[in-house]
């Protein structure tokens, strides 16, 4: 498998594969504020901000031909994200979700996504040149949610792409993000995850999701499972607790940054992943990368919604 750091003198090309949805934030008075979000899209935005002109960050998805999709593309362009791999499907719409947060900043999601355009991301004729181009990227990033929304046919296409990309020395990055409601059964999800994990170079894992999906009893069991797979770099994200890292046979523990008040934990993990990956690609050590991840996540959880304003300190 490939190491993450560094990529070399050329500007790396990074493609993130997944879904962006219309986001509604429910306020205390019952009103709704509309924006956009999705796990891999959140990571793409924060990664683009962190890398700046040191990388080309592209998003791979399918949208509709509606005004919301237009607005998404405009925002991504303003964030420096490339749209060349974004399909626009006539008559289709993006998915939608609503965030409800409690007094402690913990969130609950309500989804409307079964007919979302992204479900046909890899099934259309227009997807063929996109799939053909992906193995030439330096880094491919996807998540457990990506696996779910692509469906069985799309996952097969993704696996073929990962195999070819690794043959061309690409780095493969995976965030587990297990959402039970997106799967017909736990067994289906397990099979889908196991089909892609052998190709992953960096696994960014939320411990709760690993326990829910595979039943691992503790952190050591997670590390052991991924050691058997052969994943060279594994990061265990544990919320407000210290994250744990195993890289090239070494184990590290990096404390999280405490904040006075948690407003909204949406995209905490996504932003951590973005900052961690950016640091590693720019030559940072696993510990330095985790510190960068905690720092960004601590900023994100103090602001409502998935994406904090650009001018907010990161």
Active site residues: 270
E strand map for the chain: 13-17, 21-26, 32-37, 56-63, 81-82, 86-88, 96-101, 107-112, 139-143, 171-175, 202-206, 233-237, 243-247, 250-254
**Residues in Cβ contact with 218 at an 8 Å cutoff, skipping those fewer than 6 apart:** none
222, two tokens = 């997670």
Indicate the SS3 state at residue 258. Answer: coil
Query: Are 256 and 242 in contact, with CB atoms under 8 Å apart?
Result: yes
Q: To which residue do tokens 């990055």 refer?
A: 173
Give me the residues paired with residue 246 across strands: 234, 251
């Amino acid at each position: 498998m490939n190491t993450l750091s560094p990529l070399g003198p050329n500007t790396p090309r990074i493609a993130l594969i997944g879904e962006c949805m219309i986001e509604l934030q429910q306020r205390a008075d019952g009103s709704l504020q509309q924006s956009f979000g999705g796990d891999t899209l959140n990571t793409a935005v924060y990664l683009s901000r962190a890398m700046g002109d040191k990388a080309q960050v592209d998003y791979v998805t399918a949208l509709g031909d509606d005004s919301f999709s237009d607005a998404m593309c405009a925002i991504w362009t303003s964030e420096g994200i490339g749209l060349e791999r974004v399909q626009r499907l006539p008559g289709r719409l993006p998915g939608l979700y609503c965030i409800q947060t409690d007094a402690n900043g913990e969130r609950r999601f309500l989804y409307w996504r079964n007919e979302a355009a992204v479900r046909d991301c890899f099934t259309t004729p227009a997807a063929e040149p996109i799939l053909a181009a992906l193995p030439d990227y330096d880094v491919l990033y996807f998540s457990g949610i990506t696996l779910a929304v692509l469906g069985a046919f799309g996952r097969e296409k993704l696996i073929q792409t990962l195999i070819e990309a690794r043959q061309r020395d690409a780095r493969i990055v995976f965030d587990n993000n297990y959402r039970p409601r997106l799967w017909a059964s736990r067994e289906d999800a397990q099979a889908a995850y196991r089909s892609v994990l052998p190709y992953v170079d960096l696994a960014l894992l939320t411990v709760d999701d690993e326990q829910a999906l595979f039943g691992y009893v503790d952190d050591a069991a997670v590390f052991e499972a991924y050691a058997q797979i052969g994943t060279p770099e594994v990061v265990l994200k544990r919320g407000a607790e210290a994250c744990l890292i195993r890289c090239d046979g070494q184990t590290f523990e990096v404390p999280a940054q405490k904040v006075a008040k948690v407003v909204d934990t949406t995209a905490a993990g996504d932003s951590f992943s973005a900052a961690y990956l950016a640091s590693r690609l720019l030559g940072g050590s696993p510990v330095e990368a985790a510190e960068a991840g905690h720092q960004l996540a601590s900023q994100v959880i103090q602001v409502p919604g998935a994406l904090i304003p650009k001018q907010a300190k990161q």
